Structure 1
Amino acid sequence: MADTRAKYRTEIQQMMFVSGETGDVSSETTTMIENIVQQQVWEMLRRATDLAARRGVRTISTDDLIFLIRHDKAKVSRLLTFLSWKDVRKSAKDSDEKGGGGGDAGGVDDFDLAANDPTLGTGPSVGTRNSKNKKAKVGLPWDVSSFYSEQVPEREDEEDEEAEEMNAATLQRLKQADERTKGMNAEEYLHFSECRQASFTFRKGKRFREWAGFGAVTDSKPNDDIVDILGFLTYEIVTLLTEEALEVKAAEDALKRESGGDEEKRGRKRRREPGLFDPPEEARTPVGPKHIQEAYRRLQKPDLKSRYMHHIPKGNWRRPLKLI
């Protein structure tokens, strides 16, 4: 278990680097992030198990996990895109093994395995679309279209409308990645590309099952899709924590610049202006545990609809953990 934690600390550092952190993150910070991610995974498994029990089954399904994040349309859209391309890659691999990879079937070699999902955080590469393989649309049982036996034919521009509506966060991440990699040389960009492949689950399925609490939190035996979804969601959690912690640190640094430094130095001497050969600010001070704590507190802040009638005393009532 200790080896697994050490391995995940490396994965977390790589995820944080892709998300904007450039400093050497301390082990205390990565351990805190790992504990938060593990707590979130346990809560997801517990709630998914309760949903499965309501349906009268003991095994959780992919719909149970997606249902937990149904209110975050952008995240659901990215997850469904990831699952769709995963299915395309699996189908192409099966056709290639049956001898159809060299012709019109389009085998695994037709995929650009170096190109990851646009979200910069979906674990292993799932390939890109080509003319031989079409991305399947993943339906959800609570979609309005599933209420009727007759299905409306899909329009050619329907996918573009969904992407424009739900994938604003994805486009923002692509823009940030473009800005970060603009001045990189070939070696630095290669390291950045390797960090994009960081995952809690890729080629670590057995370790992840033990770490996630399968057999302890839930008796359900996960299939590959369940593990892949959890791998996607854990990457999203680390990304959100890092981006929020960077905003916390940026606000703190701005306050220090306005006030002229720390309180003990205030009034004794004027803060020295940055010199020509000073290292970048972000390279000197990476995010620390206090920034992660504040970021987690902000992400746990309840939505406005959850605060309705919050002023009424509720005795020993405790607000449930919010999934991020």
Structure 2
Amino acid sequence: MSEATFVKPVVDNNDYKNEPVNYTAEIRQMMHGFGDHSEPLLETAKIIEDVVLNQMRAIIHKACEVADLRESQSVTAEDFLFLLRKDRIKLQRLVNYLKLKEFKASICKPLESDSVDSLTDPNKSDEISKLPFIKFLKYIDNTGELLNDKSLIDHVKRKRCIRAELLTRKMDETRYLEFSKARCVSFANKNRHKFSDWIGSSGDFTIAKSGYTVLGYLAYETVAQIVDLAFLVRQDQNKIHGDAIDRLRCSYPNPITYKPYQYTKPVMTKPITPSEVSEALRRYWSPQLEMTGPFHRWSLRKPHMKFLAC
């Protein structure tokens, strides 16, 4: 009787390379950074990932149409800025992000001189006006409203800051460090090839480096918008009808009437459920919420859905 021979299984490293790229872990951290539980539900993160991926592919398709109008085979940041021209608040939010990116890149460069005058150069505004995206906005801005952000108030950004402040009020050092780390997670990481592989964009158009920067920001804003809408759904579910001060017990406060002394107890956040995300997206994409919504049939569907970040 021959002895049994044991064959050692051969592990092919290509099997790991063929695994689909996903951002589920990063999106879970982003959700925590936007106010969700410290351990967001995996099912909710997968739903958000699918929505973000579909939204990014649709935005790329629209940006390719803009690039085609200017007879270019490369999609740049200016093409995405053109899509945001009708929403001044979201446009200014993106412009401020790009300005911050340029500022961080400038301070990382070696200083040519050690004088204080080089750090406080009065011509910094002239350097900002020479940035490509600023020159592009000036070119398409006929009324001067796109770059005039003095009268704009970003209520959405303020609500997010208030929610983060309420969450961190009673945190210990360990939880606060985890929360701070989660707020730093984004799609704009150093591994740009992972982001491009995740999107899976293919065709006659190529996306420039500046385009990937804006696209990563739009993906990040899409996650934030979904979390904001999910909290609004939860607020409606927990609303006590007839209570005039019910908003004081919600984790989504009114930024106009917000007073820090009214929130003395720590905010306990439950993980966002898939049903809350589905209801939030249903409300956002409902044709009844538009100006001409009541005059359309419910069965009539648009050729494309509304963008969450544009």
TM over 0.5: yes
- 1:60 to 2:75 alignment: yes
- AA partner of residue 272 (structure 2): V
Instruction: Write out aligned runs for 1:154-165 (5 A).
Output: 162-165=149-152
Instruction: Give the counterpart of 1:234 among 192, 200, 219.
Output: 219
The range that moved more, 170-179 or 72-81, is 170-179
Match of 1:72 in 2: 87
Alignment correspondent of 1:206:
193
Q: 1:185 aligns with which of 159, 172, 175?
A: 172
Cα distance in 1, alignment partners of residues 42 and 183 from structure 2? 20
Q: Name the CA distance, whole Å, in 2 between partners of 1:168 and 1:254.
A: 21
Contact 1:74–1:169 (CA under 8 A) maintained in structure 2: no
Alignment of 1:123-134 (within 5 A): 131=120, 134=124
Structure 1 193/210 Cα, relative in aligned 2: closer, same or farther at 3 Å? same
| Corresponding residue of 1:4 | 21
1:11: how far off? 1.1
Is the 1:92–1:105 contact (alpha carbons within 8 Å) kept by the matching residues of 2? Answer: no
Hey, what does 2:34 align to over in structure 1? 19
Q: How many residues align?
A: 257
| Post-superposition offset of 1:83 | 0.8
Q: Does the 8 Å contact 2:73/2:206 carry over to 1?
A: no
Q: Counterpart of 1:210 in structure 2: which amino acid? A: D
**Other-structure match for 1:304:** 290
Question: What's the CA shift for 1:59?
Answer: 1.4
Distance in 2 between residues matched to 1:317 and 1:291, nearest whole Å: 22
The match for 2:98 is: 83
Counterparts in 2 of 1:23 and 1:250: CA distance versus 1, 3 Å: farther
CA spacing shift, 1:201–1:308, aligned 2, 3 Å: same
With over 3 angstroms needed to count, the CA separation of the structure-2 counterparts of 1:25 and 1:89, relative to structure 1, is closer
In structure 1, the residue matched to 2:107 is: 92
Letter paired with 1:199: S
Q: Aligned partners of 2:113, 2:164: CA distance in 1, in Å?
A: 34
Structure-2 separation of matches of 1:13 and 1:50 = 32
Change (3 A) 1:281 1:168: closer
Cα distance in 2 between the residues matched to 1:21 and 1:317: 32
Which ranges of structure 2 fall in alignment gaps of 5 or more residues?
1-17, 244-265
- 1:292 maps to a residue whose letter is V
2-side partners of 1:63 and 1:290: how far apart? 36
The 1:3–1:318 alpha-carbon spacing in structure 2 relative to 1, beyond 3 Å, is: closer
Structure 1 position 89, deviation (Å): 2.6
Residue-by-residue CA offset, 1:52-106 (whole Å, 9 max, x unaligned)? 1122222122121122222222211110011112222323334x1xx51644486
Judge conservation of contact 1:244–1:295 (CA < 8 Å) in 2.
Answer: yes
TM superposition shift of 1:200 = 1.5
What secondary structure, in the 3-state scheme, does the structure 2 residue paired with 1:214 have? Answer: coil
1:323 aligns to 2:307 (yes or no):
yes
Distance 2:156 2:301 in 1: 34
**Cα gap change, 1:173 to 1:101, in 2 (>3 Å):** farther
State how 1:198-277 maps to structure 2 within 5 Å: 198-215=185-202, 218-254=203-239
State how far apart, in whole Å, the 2-side matches of 1:226 and 1:14 are: 24
CA contact under 8 A between 2:167 and 2:267: conserved in structure 1?
Answer: no
Give the structure 1 partner of residue 274 of structure 2: 289
Q: How far apart in 2 are the matches of 1:307 and 1:55?
A: 34
RMSD: 3.2
**Which of 171, 175, 181 is the aligned partner of 1:194?**
181
Q: Residue in 2 aligned with 1:143?
A: 141
Tell me the CA shift for residue 309 of structure 1.
5.1
> In structure 2, what is the Cα distance between the partners aligned to 1:18 and 1:248?
19
Aligned partner letter, 1:198 = V
Once residues 47 and 81 of structure 2 are traced to their aligned partners in structure 1, the CA distance between those partners, rounded to angstroms, is 26
Alignment of 1:112-127 (within 5 A): none
Task: Point out 4+ residue stretches in structure 1 off by more than 6 angstroms.
Answer: none
C-alpha contact 2:40 2:272 (8 A) present in aligned 1: yes
TM-fit CA distance, 1:222: 2.2
Shift in CA distance, 43/102, structure 1 to aligned 2, threshold 3 Å? same
Cα pair 2:37 2:272 within 8 Å, conserved? no
